[in-house]
Amino acid sequence: MNSTLYLTRNGLLEPLGQSQVMAYLRGLSHKHTITLITYEKPQDWADVTAMNRARADCNAHGIQWLPQRFRSHPRIMAPLFSMIRMVWLVRREVIRGDIRLIHARSYIPAAVALIVSRITRVPFIFDMRALWPEELIIADRLRRGSLIHRAIVAAERACLAKSSGVISLTHAAAAYLKSEYPVELKNQRLVVIPTCADLDRFTPSLNKRHGPNVHGCIGTVLSGWFRTDLLASWMNVVAVRDPSAQFEIVTRDDALLVRKALDPKNNLSERLNIGSQPSKDMPDVLRVHDLSIMFFFSGLSKLGSAPTRLAEVLGCGLPVVANEGVGDVAEIIRENNVGVIIEGESEEDIHNAFDTLHNLMQDTDLSIRCRAAAKAIFSLESGTEVYGNIYTEILKSKDSSCVV
């Protein structure tokens, strides 16, 4: 079997680690020997039961898991220290484990893979996820034109040019990259794979819900690129238009800070529930919602974004309320008629979107349509198959180039 090293700064115990790393690796492990390096947050590392459960899952699929401790301080230097340590670790595993391909998830792992590839000649995949430099700028964590920004962009350019394959989450980002880096991508293998979901887990409820409508929102809202202001406006309008409506924010963010951002005067009181849930329970969480809200900052920074929550929500048969300018989200919602896109940010715009949503919710085929869209676009099986095909193509090309 072919040996592949999968490198990510996400933790395997994080929701994203389960839905966007392990979910694919279970399938890929049938034909590839996987070594997995992740970076676990302190609270996850301390959860011995969860760590043991994740290790057992890896062992069951023949995956060698090498969890590392994630460190975020000091803020500027922590990623640099992490990167230096990562280079040493990846190089060691490549040499010791006869690794033939490195799958680098996001920018820092890709920069590490680029360095190790130069040393060892092992090819790597640049799995971009999103346009990270632009996301950092919009989140006010990076200044455009600064030394660090220029370094990240230079690394982006090099990884696009020198990798053996580039994976984008959205068609919108792929089009932008081709226009921005025509030389680097001229003969490059560029593939779009959206954030898929395990649709065997994320399924609609078997029983029709009764009672007040529950407006749900899952995932981080304090990341710096989520529109908490727009979500607060939505909830304020809905609270008036539908006095029985309930709101639930399921997030690992600090609940007090989330409430402060969304409902500082506590007007919603007990109508707003905020808390976290284990990733394994997320399908059940979604089944008690009637729809899901996701508002992100738009523009260049979000062209490459494909929110994991979209696949999971649609898989559970729920419609979505979202805003323009976030990857392929608006196009997917409109083309499949599985939700509402707000046309602006004024109170009138939100009222209009609520009216459209109210009419849409009367459609008895809505849940079926949401589920069908999820299967057509976000199937985990199809995403895993595309990844497997890329692995095979790169490894065959490598073998061919080694033939004298």
pLDDT digits (tens, 9 = 90+) for 68-101: 999 877 766 777 888 899 999 999 999 987 899 9
User: pLDDT band at residue 279, thresholds of 50, 70 and 90?
Assistant: confident
Cα within 13 Å of Cα(87), Cβ side: 15
Alpha helices in 242-328 (DSSP H): 255-262, 282-286, 308-315
Rounded Cα distance, 15 and 356, in Å: 32
Q: Which domains does the chain have, with CATH numbers?
A: 2-194+380-402 (3.40.50.2000), 214-377 (3.40.50.2000)
Q: What is the mean pLDDT of the chain?
A: 93
Pick from 320, 284, 309: nearest CA to 194: 309
User: pLDDT band at residue 255, thresholds of 50, 70 and 90?
Assistant: very high
**What is the pLDDT averaged over residues 276-290?**
93
Tell me how far the alpha carbon of residue 256 is from its chain's centroid. Answer: 24
More confident position, 206 or 245: 245
pTM reported for the whole predicted model: 0.84
296 φ/ψ angles, rounded to the nearest 5 degrees: -125, 155
Q: Which contiguous run of DSSP H or E holds residue 103?
A: strand 101-105
Instruction: Give strand pairing partners of 4.
Output: 34, 101
